[in-house]
Structure 1
Amino acid sequence: MTTRAREVNDVDDVVARMRALDAALPPRDGVAVFNRVYLTVTEELRHRIATRAFADPAGAAELGTRFAARYLAAVTAGPRDAPACWRPLLQLRHHRGVRPLQFALAGINAHVGHDLALAVVDAARALDREPPSLERDFDRVGELLTAIEERVREELMPGPDLLDVADPLTHLAGAWSLERARDAAWAGARVLWSLRGLPEMYEEFTEKLDTGVGLIGRFLLTPLDR
């Protein structure tokens, strides 16, 4: 299922909307947990674009904006209308048996596993370029996501005094890899680009990608508290 975002103008607009979500949502809400993570990423992305840390600031800004637009569309659409990859988080966002780390990883999984591949294609079309021209900045954005994910794991994992309770969480979190998700997103973008002239196959591949990522999200949100 394809969800269209209300038009997002630029990275500044993205930051403003994420801050508005942060102010509106209860702190323990699963979407709020992920939104705080993503807001940190986007603020750092904006800083790096402004300081010309990217080889192609315009391309990085376009990719970052298109990427965020898909997230904003999903979380404002509601569980029934959102892509399948986002439904587990939207449906279980208030479940007391799901830990904050699980919410954060489920959001990263949906956004990187599904939205990132589509955002590369969106950006390439908007810039009238081929996806390989965005690969360098794609990798730089990926490095930023990896740094944030490491910090999230450190901040949201329970301390040593709770290791017995945390064992299932440690196993679950260790089974998912952002690096593999990023690699799959780039491969998915290349496949989608090759299928852009074949609408039926493009939609079929997008749907299968969406449902597969959604299944992983459902596992990541397995309630662990007794």
Structure 2
Amino acid sequence: MAQLEQFTTPVDAVISRMRALDAALPERDGVAVFNRVYLTVTEEVDRHIDAGAFPDPRAAATLDVRFAERYLAAVDSADRVRRAPACWRPLFQFRRHPGVRPLQFALAGINAHIGHDLALAVVDACRSLDCAPTDLEDEFERVGGVLDSLEERIRDALLPGPDLLRIADPLTHLLGSWSLERARDAAWSTARALWALRPLPEVAAELTERLDAAVGLAGRMLLTPLPD
């Protein structure tokens, strides 16, 4: 039990930071929309860890925290002189655009976080735990299962109601171009590739940079403003 408590404290810390963001940001702000979604997911993962649903709670908490820290660092960079990663820039640039719907904001954030941050977080966690990505596969899949279970709930909560059926068709078409399952699979493959490229840091850096740019492009398309 002592070992579990040691590693739930950092999870509680990132949850506290997300709650503070939720309280500080306007409700309609695009970052606030994604933050509420991610806070729900992180709280759910934390409950699973506390309930003993992960075979290795230490590894699960480490992966969860390293993952969240990348999002929080991106938010911090948006408020400072430092430039945010390319994958997050579309969300920060369009966060107040009146033609972008809440579901688009949520998926653009998920795209940046899963498509770019998740692979890097796996590598971060492996370095912290002194293990290989394959040692974290169970934790990776279980966290992914939490994301999958919440995805439908998120879409139901944020899709436009009957009074907005005029935009539902283009929005549905836009959302159909992105898949959480494919993004998770790609993140896992990228994490393994980056881990294997440790002896070649320049190649790993180039791969990371290109991944960042590609995910940013996808995010920009997800945030295409829709007609009123």
Matches of 1:97 and 1:25 in 2, distance apart?
19
Report what 1:105 is aligned to.
Answer: 107
Percent identical across equivalent pairs? Answer: 69
Q: Kindly state the Cα deviation for residue 161 of structure 1 after the two structures are TM-superposed.
A: 4.2
Report what 2:67 is aligned to.
Answer: 67
Matches of 2:181 and 2:41 in 1, distance apart?
16
- Structure 2 gaps, min length 5: 1-8
Q: CA RMSD in A?
A: 1.1
Matches of 1:22 and 1:160 in 2, distance apart?
28
CA offsets per residue over residues 169-215 of structure 1, 9 Å max, x none? 01001111000000000000011001112110010000000000000
**Count of aligned residue pairs for this structure pair:** 218
Matches of 1:57 and 1:170 in 2, distance apart?
37
The alignment status of 1:154 with 2:151, answered yes or no, reads no
Matches of 1:48 and 1:128 in 2, distance apart?
23
CA offsets per residue over residues 144-191 of structure 1, 9 Å max, x none? 111222111011111234323211001001111000000000000011
Matches of 2:42 and 2:227 in 1, distance apart?
31
Matched letter for residue 196 of structure 1: R
Matched letter for residue 202 of structure 2: E
Map residues 1-226 of structure 1 onto 2, 5 A cutoff.
10-78=10-78, 81-226=83-228
CA offsets per residue over residues 62-101 of structure 1, 9 Å max, x none? 0000000000000110186110000000010000000000
- Taking structure 1 as the reference length, the TM-score comes to 0.94
Aligned to 2:206, what secondary structure does the other structure show? helix
Aligned to 1:208, what secondary structure does the other structure show? helix
- Taking structure 2 as the reference length, the TM-score comes to 0.93
More deviation, 93-102/138-147: 138-147
More deviation, 148-157/183-192: 148-157
